[in-house]
Amino acid sequence: MHVPVLFDEVMQALQPRSGGRYLDCTLGGGGHTEGLLKAIAPDGRVLATDADPDAIARASERLRSSLSERLTLRQAWLDETPALARSLGFAPLDGVLVDLGLSSDQLDAAERGFSFMREGPLDMRFDRSRGVPAWKLIEQMDVQRLTEVLRAYGEVPNARRVAEAIWQARPIMTTGRLRDVVSGVVRTRSERIHPATQVFQALRIAVNDELRRLEAALPELIEILKPGGRIAVITFHSLEDRIVKDVFRRESRSEVAQPGFGADESRLARLRLVNKVPIRPSEAEVARNPRARSAKLRVGERLGPEDGEERRMRQKRTRDGE
């Protein structure tokens, strides 16, 4: 059974209230969604989305008793959810949750190809009705492009050497075959991290275009929050966390126009950083759920126009030496 990561911390961060409207952009196993529904009873509403239609189906079964006017489930990619929320009348929102981790259901399903611990087809697509599976993506790339993917999305050591080994071993149709190829050329000093971990991560990100979707979605998700509404994002590796950190920092700063020095127009800050240091799972949670060990939670609160203007003026006074 999927165990939601940082559950208590997410509920504390979002501060769900009765009657509020919330968006869970990454439904997964449905644990966070279920918690939100209980916290905002009796009349609060949740829109929960996921790119994986299997996740929608499982959640429909699990949350059957809650499937009423209070819960709306839709299949959608992360960068599609802001427009969807608007079209369904959910915006503006009191809170948004983005949990970027894979669910246990996805990892444990051999036919999905997400884990090198399960022998199965090398697929890795969240939505198997669209896109190109990982085995085919490998077929379509040359060594240089494969090297770039491994380096950029997995930070794979000796990426060129690994890419050459994978390319020469084509066709690689199964997770086990890819794991064996990588294990033959990569050595890791850590007993906790298998040599294939970063390679599987890189290919999954490339298959689903995850980082581009995340960077495109975050500003739009902030835009559809009410003043005082909060966005909570859980990441599981440094590439995701870096994007969230950079977007949150950018959105928390007003930009004062300086003719001839860049920006032509002032831009008001839209976000307050609730935690400047990411929240990590406790030792007790990691002991219960080892898959939580790399999780990081960042939280931001939507500012109103007056708050953003106050920050802009404060920044201007600082710039002018007042």
Q: Average the pLDDT over 138-163 and give the result.
A: 96
Q: Average the pLDDT over 159-170 and give the result.
A: 96
Read out DSSP for 102-164?
A: PPHHHHH-GGG---TTS--BS---SSTTSS--HHHHHHH--HHHHHHHHHHHH--TTHHHHHH
Q: Is the pLDDT at 172 greater than 60, yes or no?
A: yes
Q: What is the pLDDT of residues 215-228, one digit of tens each?
A: 999 999 999 999 99
What share of the chain has pLDDT > 70, as a percent? 88
Q: Is the pLDDT at 231 greater than 70, yes or no?
A: yes
Mean pLDDT, the chain, rounded, equals 91
pTM: 0.90
Peptide bond into 92 cis (omega under 30): yes
What share of the chain has pLDDT > 90, as a percent? 78
Burial of 102 (0-12, 13-18, 19+ CB in 10 A): buried
Residues 6+ apart with CB under 8 A from 68: none
Q: Which residue has the higher pLDDT, 108 or 258?
A: 108
Q: What is the pLDDT of residues 174-193, one digit of tens each?
A: 999 999 999 999 866 556 67
Q: What is the pLDDT of residues 191-211, one digit of tens each?
A: 667 889 999 999 999 999 999
170 phi, psi to nearest 5 deg: -60, 150
Name the pairing type of β-strands 225-235 and 93-99: parallel
What is the pLDDT at residue 322? 52
CA-CA distance, 204 to 123, in Å (whole number)?
Answer: 9
Residues 6+ apart with CB under 8 A from 259: none
CA-CA distance, 120 to 241, in Å (whole number)?
Answer: 29
Nearest to 226 by CA among 299, 302, 300, 298: 302
What is the pLDDT at residue 314? 61
Instruction: Name all domains of the chain by residue range, CATH numbers in brackets.
Output: 7-103+210-251+269-302 (3.40.50.150), 109-208 (1.10.150.170)
Alpha-carbon separation of residue 74 from 92, 237, 260 (angstroms) = 18, 26, 47
CA-CA distance, 145 to 141, in Å (whole number)?
Answer: 6
Q: Is the pLDDT at 306 greater than 80, yes or no?
A: no
